Structure 1
Amino acid sequence: MRNNREKWQFYSHPSKPALTASEARYWKESMRKLLKVGIEFEFNLPDQKGSCKGDNIQCPCVRIDTGCWKECTNTPSCQEEKCYDTCTAQKKKCTPDKCKKCNKHKFSCIGSTCVDFISACFTCNNFDKNCDTCNKKYNPDKDPKYIRQNLNTELQPSKTYGRVSPSGVVGITTDGSLLGDKGVEIITVGRRVDFWEFYTMSKRILDKVEKYGAYLNERTGSHMHVLTSYYEGDGANELEKPMPQIVLANFHQLCRRYQNALTWMTIALGDPRHMTRWEKFRVGILDISPVTKGMRHVIEEVSRQAGGNKYGFINYNRTRFNGEDIDRFHIEFRQADSTMCPTYYAALACLHYAIVVKAVEISRYGLLKVGDEAWLKKAKAMKKVILNGCGDYNDSSRMSDTSHLLDFTQYFIEESLDLVNQLKSILLKIGPAYDILIKLSERPAALRLMDGKSWKEIEQDLAVEMKSTDQLEVKLSEIIDLKLIDDCNDCDEWIVEVQRCLSEDEEIRDTVGREEIELFVNTKMREGEMIWSDSTGCMMSI
């Protein structure tokens, strides 16, 4: 048995009063309904340096090195016409006017220095240029502008946050830090949390960019926005009333406590000396506490510490206040490296959502204490091991020095597993994200790359296949939603009838029996997701 009371201690803070039970219930339900997650994907693009369209008359023939170009098209006519200058049998007594009557004339071409020299290249039928392999030839498939144009055509961005396009993309733009004419940044509309929706959207985007040769390195990161509403100034606000400051403060405390875990789970560079990007675009927040200051001042300090801009580990710049409470909730997680794995993005979207919901849950008990001085000292030491580097843009490698990271893997694994398990009850309700995050906690993408695995193989490792319990949930949802079985005397009779119904289903009859159905129903009832209705004689989802 393990007692976690020491880890979960709270301040009773006069400026940030704890939520009442009814307030906690209201805000938890509101967040589940209102929170949306938008993803920003960053990719480097091939760099098109050639401009030739294959029509340059100055391009040499592929056979130029053989010397055939030295042959002259006038040689046959020159051989027939006796010429003093091209004769090798000249004697001292020879003069140009005697050439026509001379029968000892021997022709010798003087080569390219002759005023009448015309290279045989101009009449050669075998003249051939190496356009296919020439680095000066224009290749539209490597032209970043052409690639971005095609991505716009294929993904059809909505260009408005008021509508979700079929691809989920709202805009396609560039970023000055990316390679290949500023690369490409693909921005999706924030959408309500559903693992499979995020997975499908991410896979569609990744398949498109991979087709055009997009690639990742230390310049590419992934940012996720968690928000309740986009618009400002038009009177629209999805929050019915200001969110108590305690929720945002506890969100900040959770991000401080698990900053190292969030970094560890999202490292994705395959060099043991540099397993993740530098800190400059995601400056840590361990030192910034909301205990002695309001969240307005916390946000100002996060921005100031990041150079006066949005480059904090968490970007709060789009959050708006009403007094000391929050009028518009919009935060950005900036810690994650980019990958080519849709499962990775879908799981992270669920993780970030769950952290916000957890902040609401714990706000009933006060302001979270992240830890004592000893904890903070160790956290800061571990942070230096995994996240560092804020040098000059041009003189720095843009990578963190992680040469000692592998010496402390156990610490980072334990911190990450602690975070994921604290969020388990929230994650289990939104798809298979929990299982995937456990895998990322135990072995993040960077370590898998160092194992020699490709992105395709890493995706296969992370992906979660639909289990029999998932299939059972699908089948039971149909039975419950459509009331295919009702008017039963009690829950036991209903389960017997459900088993009889499922035994006729070829997809599931060999893997699901009465025990599995009972376990599933009891779990859902215990978690408050299902109840028995005496009036209808069947189970009901809630």
Structure 2
Amino acid sequence: MSRDNRDKWTFYVHPSKEAINTGDVRYWKHMLHKILKIGLEYEFNLPNKNGTCKGNNNACPCKHMAESNCWKDCIRFDTCKAERGKNFICHGIFCTGFLSKCIICEKFEVDCKSCENLFDPERNPDHIRERMNNFLTPSHSYGSLTKHGVHSITTDGSLLGKKGAEVITVGRRPDYWEFFKMSKEIIDLAVKNGAYVNERTSIHAHLLASYYGKIAGSSGSPGVPNQIDEMEKAMPEIILANFHQLCRRYQNAITWMTIGLDEPERITRWEKYRVSVLNISAVLNNMSKVKADVSSNAGGNKYGWVNYNNCTFTKKGDVKRFHVELRVMDCLLSPSAIAAVSCLYYAMMIKAIEISRYGVVEVGGQDWIEKAEGIKRDLMNNMKDYNSGDRFSDTSGLSKHYDVLISESFDLISQIKHILMKTGPAYEVLEKLAERPCGIRRCDGDTWETIEKDLQVVMTTEDVFIAKLTEIIDLRLVDQCKNEDEWLKAVILLLNKDNDQVIDDRVSEFINTKKNDGEMVWLDRIGSMSLI
């Protein structure tokens, strides 16, 4: 049974933000697919073993002192008794000549392992960061990508363990498997070195069109610019406005899908460092005003749920430099979840381009806003002072909104499914997160290992089949056919040469599904199917 979704989409056409035409949509989708990058910042707490003792301190007490009073026995007891005879009275530890038998005791033993003053390079924050640097080999340049994609490893005052470790990446073109491999290497290394996550840690994502500054100093040099920007022209303001509107519309859903703590009453971190943008509209306000309002609403800094601090604009209002930061995600120790959410951010930007031909999208009426604000208050809250109290959101009243959050999450990923499918298996992972986010799974007792095992996408026999079929289509190994039936028979014949199973139905099913989803078309002049 079909559904009429026209009531979900309301657009405003305003002279200040002119709608773009079909040619512009095609240009900006093609351009951003090539130049858009996503840089991730992973935050970890570290063990706090900062002692300097090498385990040879003669002033350390015996570990048996806690369970026995043998240390009160004096070496001189027998000598004093013999010298003073019947009038001898021992004052024990209060005697000025007292010498504990610990000095000569063969059982004297110091418990260095549990001592907080012991130097332990395996659990010392400085040494952990040094090992992480040695393994990840940061480039310290946004114009250079090393094997692990890391720009730098720094500290943050909010993190535990001598300010913890923040791993900043250079940024990658949108691809699920690249994000997955990079995240897995970073997380595995951090956990191996004792790093852990809690309400103080998060993952920030920077979505940007590539640009590089300070190439030749602040003033540049003859023939060499002081900044290189891969955007060939300014982006129409309406695109960024619609991206902001999509962030507002799906703020609760994305927050829901990225929760990661393990207590139902406080299942995600506080709002302080990711202040809601629900009430900041881009319909009538220009994006320079939205940028300022988001910053002001977050205390005059970068701590908006999404912020535009690094964006610059032309006098007309178009986007001269595109760089947004999304601060919503809890620090998830699941490479699959991180990769999928990263692809979701990219897909939202492409979706913003697609809908910009119709005007600026409205998020909903006043009733919707009030309902969304109510859900937000139960999902993301707590704006206390930095040094006052905990850093959790109070989610004790969230369970009554589960159905709405799940529904909105599925609505979001269905709207961008056609974009996600081109990045890898992100959609499959997001479906699982929409229904049961990592935080819900942890509250149910799942470990991070169990969560990752359930979310991860493994290459199966079916995946190999699809890869071979896709190769035939992309490389035009079968073309110049009169019609689709002739092409289909030729493809089946070619695949059957390398496969003992009858695959006729599987090929037909794959082709029909792709055609129905708008991801494949017949090219009559070439005589072949084509993926789009």
Contact 2:520–2:529 (CA under 8 A) maintained in structure 1: no
Between the aligned partners of 1:541 and 1:420, the Cα distance in structure 2 is: 21
Percent identity over the alignment?
48
Q: Is the 8 A contact 1:47 1:142 kept in 2?
A: yes
Matches within 5 A, 1:387-426: 387-426=380-419
The match for 1:54 is: 55
The change in CA–CA distance for 1:252 and 1:75 in structure 2 (over 3 A counts) is closer
Q: Which residue of 2 aligns with 1:102?
A: none
Letter in 1 for 2:288: R
Alignment TM-score, normalising by the size of structure 2: 0.90
Q: Which amino acid aligns with 1:276?
A: T
Change (3 A) 1:256 1:58: same
Q: Please state how far the C-alpha of 1:146 moved relative to its aligned partner.
A: 1.0
Moved more, 480-489 or 384-393: 480-489
Contact 2:211/2:227 (CA < 8 Å) preserved in 1?
Answer: no
Using the TM superposition, give the Cα deviation of residue 283 of structure 1 relative to its aligned residue in structure 2, in angstroms: 0.8
Q: What is the CA distance between 1:178 and its match in structure 2?
A: 1.0
Structure 2 partner of 1:101: none
- The residue aligned with 1:155 is 136
In 2: Cα distance, 1:473 partner to 1:530 partner: 17
Q: Secondary structure at the match of 1:225?
A: strand
1:36-435 equivalent positions in 2, closer than 5 A: 36-64=37-65, 66-69=68-71, 78=79, 85-88=83-86, 119-232=100-213, 234-323=226-315, 324-435=317-428
What is the RMSD of the two structures over their aligned residues, measured on CA atoms? 2.6
Question: In structure 2, how many angstroms separate the alpha carbons of the residues matched to 1:351 and 1:9?
Answer: 22
Instruction: In structure 2, give the amino acid aligned to 1:322.
Output: T
Residues of 1 paired with 2:93 and 2:292: CA distance?
A: 75
Q: Per the alignment, in what secondary structure is the counterpart of residue 317 of structure 1?
A: coil
Q: Alpha-carbon deviation of 1:86?
A: 2.6
Give, as a single letter, the amino acid of the residue that structure 1 aligns with 2:384: G
Tell me how far 1:50 sits from its aligned partner.
3.3
Over residues 464-506 of structure 1, what are the superposed CA-to-partner deviations in whole Å (9 max), with x where a residue is unaligned? 2335543223212444556655676655444334333433436
Gaps of 5+ in 1: 91-106
Aligned-pair CA distance for 1:237: 0.8
Farther off after superposition, 484-493 or 437-446: 484-493
Instruction: Name the structure 2 match of 1:15.
Output: 16
Would you say the 8 A contact 2:432–2:455 is kept in 1? Answer: yes
Unaligned runs of 5+ in 2: 215-225
Q: Distance in 2 between matches of 1:281 and 1:75?
A: 65
Aligned-residue offset at 1:51: 3.1
Quick check: 2:211–2:230 contact (8 Å CA) kept in 1? Answer: no
Q: Tell me how far apart the structure 1 counterparts of residues 132 and 405 of structure 2 sit (CA, whole Å).
A: 38
**1:517 correspondence with 2:507:** yes
Query: Counterparts of 2:486 and 2:529 in 1: how far apart (Å)?
Result: 11
Matched position secondary structure for 1:335: coil
CA pair 61-531 structure 1, distance change in 2 beyond 3 A: same
Secondary structure at 1:192 match in 2? coil
State the distance in 1 between where 2:106 and 2:313 align: 77
Q: Secondary structure at the match of 1:374?
A: helix
Residue of structure 2 equivalent to 1:2: 3
> Which one is further off, 516-525 or 299-308?
516-525
Amino acid in structure 2 at the alignment position of 1:251: F
Summarize the Cα distance change of 1:117–1:312 in structure 2 as closer, same or farther, 3 Å threshold: closer
Equivalent pair of 2:511/2:520 in contact (CA under 8 Å): no
**Partner AA of 2:84 in structure 1:** T
Deviations along 1:9-58, one digit per CA (max 9) or x if unpaired, are 21111010100111111111111111111111111111115332101101
Which structure has the larger Rg?
1
Q: C-alpha displacement at 1:538, in angstroms?
A: 5.6
Is the Cα contact below 8 Å between 1:313 and 1:334 reproduced in 2?
yes
Distance 1:21 1:45, change over 3 A: same
Structure 2 Cα separation of the partners of residues 110 and 385 of structure 1: 66
- CA contact 2:50–2:125 (8 Å) conserved in 1: no
| 2:42 and 2:203 in contact (8 A); partners too | yes
456-465 or 197-206, which moves further after superposition? 456-465
- Given the alignment of the two structures, is residue 456 of structure 1 paired with residue 453 of structure 2, yes or no? no
Q: Per-residue CA shift, 1:506-526, capped at 9, x if unaligned?
A: 6xx44x611221333355566
- Deviation track 1:417-467 (CA, whole Å, cap 9, x = no partner) reads 111111111111111111111111111111111111111111122122335
How far did 1:174 drift?
A: 0.8
Q: After superposition, give the CA deviation of every residue in 1:305-356 in whole Å (9 maximum; x if it has no partner).
A: 1100000111100111122101111101111111111001000000000000
Q: Distance in 1 between matches of 2:94 and 2:333?
A: 60
Does the 8 A contact of 1:420 with 1:434 survive in 2?
yes
Amino acid at match of 1:266: T
Letter of the structure 2 residue corresponding to residue 261 of structure 1: A
Q: In 1, Cα distance between the equivalents of 2:352 and 2:472?
A: 35
1:97-126 C-alpha deviation (Å, 9 max, x unpaired): xxxxxxxxxx99886677776554444444
- More displaced 10-residue stretch of structure 1: 326-335 or 135-144: 135-144
Equivalent AA in structure 2 for residue 207 of structure 1: D
Shift of 1:290: 1.6
